Amino acid sequence: MWPTSAPLNASFWASVTDEMLARPSLIDAFRTRQGRNSPRTKPFPSDEARQAQVCYMRSGSSVTGQMCPQGYGSVQS
């Protein structure tokens, strides 16, 4: 559990994404909410897509995000 008074800094996001990798259902839940529960939001098609999502989250910028596997960025494609 993250302390309520602690900032949501890089350490926080590293912890979140580590937990997502340990529990892939968290990645799926994130995608559902990111797509605002739209019926057009499809589940991740593969573990590779889940890994790409975590890579995007960890990248911190569009430039470093381009080093992640491509083709998994859209929630409702």
Tens of pLDDT along the chain (77 residues) come to 889 999 999 999 999 999 999 999 999 999 888 888 888 888 888 899 999 999 998 988 889 989 999 887 666 45
Residue 24: the pLDDT is 92
CA distance 72 to 34: 13
Query: By C-alpha distance, which of 67, 61, 70, 50 is closest to 10?
Result: 61
CA distance 39 to 27: 17
Residue 67: the pLDDT is 92
Q: Which residues, including other chains, have CB under 8 Å from residue 75's CB and lie 6 or more apart?
A: 31, 34, 35, 38, 41
Residue 73: the pLDDT is 66
